[in-house]
Amino acid sequence: MGLPTSPESLYGLLAEFEQPDDVLEAARKAYAAGYRQMNAYTPFSVEGLSQALGQKPTRLPWLVLLGGIVGGGAAYFMLYYACVISYPLNVGGRPLHSWPSFIPITFEMTVLGAAFAAFFGMLALNGLPHPNHPLFEVPAFSLASRNRFFLCIQVRDPLFQLEQTRRFLEGMTPRVHEVQP
């Protein structure tokens, strides 16, 4: 814990829990108390935790759909332009706009566009890459990938007041860490 710190020089307060049910209950209590700028860190998915934190559903499926539509539309337009406008060839009497022959490439480009949208959309929505984060400086946080569960309430939360928030978190767990920016 160390010396008392002013809220201006903090990223937030980090509460450490040993059981997934404890961090889930703490997130519910913190949300009910009015805290909104908080996040939980767990070694595995905890059912109901994102709802307890008040997180909205992700927009990633819409980005993937949009990427697929753009990829498929671009492929179809490319084939149409090449076969009908730029270099029309009448092969065996088939029509210039022979859409069944466009299906395999259109499908592949739809999948490729969706995959790129999923990859880059996930990076953008998660704020990645983020090579360093203030939580990495807390020695106990290395256990977040093994067997500990953490709830961090950030200073930028409108209800955050150092002593009141510390007492609130200490009421749920004795281990509360200050996170320096």
What CA–CA distances, in Å, run from 167 to 15, 18, 177? 11, 19, 12
**How far apart are alpha carbons 173 and 17 in whole angstroms?**
7
Write the pLDDT tens digit of every residue in 135-144: 999 999 999 9
pLDDT of 78 above 60: yes
Let me know how long the chain is: 181
C-alpha distance across the termini of the chain, in Å: 15
Range(s) of the domain holding residue 96 = 60-125
The answer to whether position 75 is within a domain reads: yes
Torsion of CA 56, 123, 36, 157, to 10 degrees: -160
The answer to whether position 168 is within a domain reads: yes
Tell me what pLDDT residue 1 has.
46
Tell me what pLDDT residue 7 has.
65
Q: Under DSSP, is residue 151 helix (H, G, I), strand (E, B) or coil?
A: strand
Long-range contact list for 103-106, CB < 8 A, 24+ apart? 105/75, 105/79, 106/72, 106/75, 106/76, 106/79
Residue 93's pLDDT band (cuts 50, 70, 90) = confident
The answer to whether position 145 is within a domain reads: yes
The answer to whether position 1 is within a domain reads: no
